[in-house]
Structure 1
Amino acid sequence: MIRRQLMQAAVWLTLLCAASAWAGSAKPGDAVVLPLSAKVEGQGYAELSARWWRWTDRFSSGMEPYRDPDGRWCGIAQEGPVWFLAGTDGGDSVKRRCSVPVGKHVFLPVINLYQRTRYGIPARQRAAQCKSLLSGLALSNDALRSAVVLVDGVRVADPRRYRVRTERCFDAYDEPDENGEAIIAASDGYWLLLPPMKAGRHTIVVGANYGRGAEDDDGYGNMVQNFEYVLDVGGPTF
């Protein structure tokens, strides 16, 4: 237990030192992030977060976007006016580079969690199941310990403002089965929706972690996110 606590402390210290360095070099002002009331073609933060999780579930095991080692999978299964970026699975830090078409909004997690039921749930039981899923997710998200985001070297002011929960849950696979039962899912976390970026190279740096303490560690209570994107908007830049 002592060794585990020391390892976690080392991870937190590394993250906080990196966050301090990023923040110290940040340009004056606040990065442009669309408010929680914003919508893109009728879809707001909650709807986009549900779409984001359905997007990750379209990939075969081991190739989920949050496992992308360097950005090589960045363009797979992207559709519509919003371009999705992924975090990590809470493991190693990662740096990715990818091309994004001009005119796309960008939607990404700062840190988040997701749960779904193992089996199909009939309609009459979904409200209770949804409440249970959200209660479990809230334990970690209520204990956000730190979050630092830079967009093109400009710091996002207080990422805690961008917490989003899918209060009504959603069908994990879009539609019920032949018996009317559906695997339902819930998401809780911190997300950012960015307006379309100008053509050229852009960078996004994210560092965040939960801090429920070692005694409450269920595998997610002390999760760390630490990733960077280099985006070539409009095609590769050199």
Structure 2
Amino acid sequence: MNEAIPDGSWQVEPRVGGALAGRWWQWALSAPEELSPVRDETGEHAAWNQPDDLWFLAGTYGGKVTRTCAIPADRPVFFPVFNIQTVRGRLDQEPPRMPIARAEAWLNGLPLQLTQFSGQFALGAERRHTWGLWGALAPLHPGEYVLEIKADTGRGFRVDTTYHLTASTD
């Protein structure tokens, strides 16, 4: 069962989370470089090719990024804190993982639950593995929100992302 918990997080079952992680990668990797929500530093490409049943927020390639974007108030939100993908080798091969020294996310200052998911997805004819530490939000009420994501591998790779979100019904 997938349900909202008091901090606004959306509790996602492992099987569903692995499938969502794969869908996120298909979405992120299908964007042309000039429209890539992951490369975008302002949020101007956040709405690129979003699915109808949820809203993906882009990760980053590390560093500090501040994005501003509008999101629909009636859809759950799914986003990476850390994630990685690779071409699948043997069927029993585990996906690569990133070390986690720190990983936190807050919505309007309230800490969010983060969950590790791994899964598989197709990119063209290639089968791929994915692993990540993900956050998920239940549909937000119309209004303004600040989502902060801070993470560190302890080996020099850091994420410091701030999203200024406007949830609306239009």
Task: Mark yes or no: TM-score above 0.5.
Answer: yes
Q: 2-side partners of 1:48 and 1:231: how far apart?
A: 21
Tell me: CA distance 1:116–1:61, structure 2 relative to 1, closer, same or farther (3 Å): farther
1:98 partner letter = C
Equivalent residue in structure 1 for 2:148, among 195, 205, 230: 205
Q: 2-side partners of 1:44 and 1:37: how far apart?
A: 5
Q: Is the 8 A contact 1:148 1:206 kept in 2?
A: yes
Tell me the equivalent position of 2:100: 144
Matches within 5 A, 1:18-97: 31-37=7-13, 44-90=16-62, 92-97=63-68
Tell me: CA distance 1:60–1:130, structure 2 relative to 1, closer, same or farther (3 Å): farther
Corresponding residue SS for 2:93: helix
Equivalent residue in structure 1 for 2:110, among 154, 157, 162: 154
Q: 1-side partners of 2:157 and 2:111: how far apart?
A: 22
Runs of 4 or more off by more than 6 Å in structure 1? none
**Percent identity among equivalent residues?**
24
RMSD over aligned Cα atoms: 2.2
Q: 2-side partners of 1:37 and 1:56: how far apart?
A: 22
Corresponding residue SS for 1:56: helix
Q: 2-side partners of 1:207 and 1:59: how far apart?
A: 25
Tell me the equivalent position of 1:22: none
More strand by share: 2
Tell me the equivalent position of 2:80: 109
Tell me: CA distance 1:50–1:100, structure 2 relative to 1, closer, same or farther (3 Å): same
Q: Is the 8 A contact 2:33 2:39 kept in 1?
A: no
Q: Is the 8 A contact 1:116 1:172 kept in 2?
A: no
Q: Number of residue pairs matched?
A: 165
Q: 2-side partners of 1:102 and 1:154: how far apart?
A: 19
Corresponding residue SS for 1:51: helix
Corresponding residue SS for 1:32: coil
More deviation, 53-62/71-80: 53-62
Deviations 1:109-160 (A, max 9, x none): 111111126xxxxxxxx6x16616x1xx12x2xx210012111111125x3x
Equivalent residue in structure 2 for 1:231, among 147, 165, 168: 165
Matches within 5 A, 1:12-23: none
Q: Is the 8 A contact 2:69 2:164 kept in 1?
A: yes
Q: Is the 8 A contact 2:112 2:135 kept in 1?
A: no
Corresponding residue SS for 1:131: coil
Q: 2-side partners of 1:235 and 1:70: how far apart?
A: 22
Q: 2-side partners of 1:45 and 1:194: how far apart?
A: 13
**1:131 partnered with 2:102:** no
More helix by share: 1
| Structure 1 unmatched runs, 5+ | 1-29, 118-125, 174-181, 214-221
Q: Is the 8 A contact 2:35 2:48 kept in 1?
A: no
| Structure 2 unmatched runs, 5+ | 1-5
